[in-house]
């Protein structure tokens, strides 16, 4: 049985934005991410699950039971918002204990639970501190801890790390994944950050204009984006024009397989790491190109190229670019090409 099932969810606003016919299944213990640009509908889906929005159509089932008629406080969900939403006049202990007190838990049970969850989010001994004495990252840890304490069947997270700096975001999403793995908690995570989605998810739901473009594992989404939109949205990608005919697709003299059996003008997508650069222009392999720029970016280098099919970027290991320079004539080939109907 799925821990969470969304069936034909539709919610449209007067502005015309919203979502239409969204169906998603989340298994117990999975971390599923809703990913897409602003306005694609991902937060609408999340808030509908939590009971903060009433759908126009469809159903939402948690542990096999519909929760549509339940208010947020009666649903077996916990919510972590972008803002920390901690009570500034309460210390950490009371912020965490508040929900448990409402559930009539004993003082000893509350104290044990608070101690346990603070160790889980790596803030042991922080009970007597006030939110104003904590950093942004520490406050978000407390917000996550508070949601954990309610032992939800599904934990909902609405861009919880977006207000933090890049280094802290990276650290916290690693910790969240560790916590999720150790507790087996089912999570639905909303973000517009593709790197975040790729790094922490069991499955990613890519959304666009209120519809689902693709549901797959991070590896599948990255390696085989099902549409041109997903290819444009996930990771760095080169896009060039090509012509499909029969079993082949041609691009500036290079030929590739045509598994989708497309015909006529097509758009080809090539990951920069799948572009190879050879110094020997006389080898006859690949297509002719000229190096426009070489940028060293830590352990790898980004090579900008001018070719017969337009500009291309290549990612190469740093030790392979020592002899490359601006204006150099090279041969360029592509190990893998994805093919889509031209927009």
- Name the least confident of 111-115, 171-175, 186-190: 171-175
pLDDT digits over 16-73, tens only? Answer: 889 999 999 999 999 999 999 988 999 999 999 999 999 999 999 999 999 999 999 8
Instruction: Give the pLDDT mean for 74-88.
Output: 84
Percent of the chain with pLDDT over 70: 98
**Predicted TM-score of the model (pTM):** 0.87
Task: Report whether CATH 3.40.50.300 matches the domain 4-230.
Answer: yes
Neighbours of 326 (CB within 10 A): 10
- Pick 236-341's CATH classification: 3.40.50.300, 2.40.50.140, 1.10.510.10, 3.40.190.10: 2.40.50.140
Cα–Cα dist 309/114, whole Å: 60
- Is the model more confident about 85 or about 108? 108
Asked whether the beta carbons of 196 and 161 are under 8 A apart, the reply is yes
Q: Residue 84 — very low, low, confident or very high, per pLDDT cuts 50/70/90?
A: low
In 3D, which of 170, 157, 3 has the Cα closest to residue 78?
157
- Tokens 């190096």 -> residue: 291
The pLDDT, as a whole number, for residue 67 is 96
What residue spans define the domains of the chain?
4-230, 236-341
pLDDT digits over 285-334, tens only? Answer: 788 899 999 999 888 999 999 998 889 999 999 888 888 999 999 999 99
């Amino acid at each position: 049985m799925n821990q969470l099932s969304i069936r034909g969810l539709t919610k449209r606003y007067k502005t015309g934005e919203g979502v239409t016919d969204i169906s998603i299944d989340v298994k117990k213990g999975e971390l599923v991410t809703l990913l897409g640009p602003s306005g694609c509908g991902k937060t609408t889906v999340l808030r509908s699950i939590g009971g903060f929005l009433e759908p126009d159509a469809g159903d939402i089932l948690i542990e096999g039971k519909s929760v549509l008629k339940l208010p947020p406080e009666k649903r077996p969900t916990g919510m972590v918002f972008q803002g920390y939403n901690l009570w500034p006049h309460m210390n950490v202990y009371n912020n965490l204990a508040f929900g448990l007190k409402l559930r009539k838990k004993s003082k000893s049970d509350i104290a044990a639970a608070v101690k346990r969850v603070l160790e889980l989010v790596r803030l042991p001994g922080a009970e007597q501190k006030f939110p104003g004495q904590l950093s942004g990252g520490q406050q978000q840890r407390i917000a996550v801890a508070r949601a954990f304490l309610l032992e939800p069947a599904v934990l909902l997270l609405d861009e919880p790390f977006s207000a933090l700096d890049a280094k802290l975001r990276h650290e916290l999403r690693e910790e969240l994944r560790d916590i999720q793995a150790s507790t087996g908690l089912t999570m639905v995570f909303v973000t517009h950050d593709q790197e975040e989605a790729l790094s922490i998810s069991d499955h990613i739901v890519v959304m666009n204009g209120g519809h689902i473009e693709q549901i797959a594992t991070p590896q599948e989404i990255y390696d085989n984006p099902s549409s041109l939109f997903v290819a444009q949205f996930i990771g760095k990608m080169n896009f060039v024009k090509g012509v499909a005919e029969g079993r082949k697709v041609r691009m500036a003299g290079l030929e590739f397989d045509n598994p989708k059996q497309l015909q006529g003008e097509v758009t080809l997508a090539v990951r920069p790491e799948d572009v190879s650069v050879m110094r020997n222009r006389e080898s006859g392999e690949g297509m002719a190109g000229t190096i426009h720029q070489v940028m060293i970016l830590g352990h790898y280098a980004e090579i900008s190229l001018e070719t017969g099919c337009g500009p291309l970027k290549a990612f190469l290991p740093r030790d392979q670019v020592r002899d490359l320079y601006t204006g150099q004539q090279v041969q360029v080939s592509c190990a893998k090409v994805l093919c889509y109907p031209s927009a």
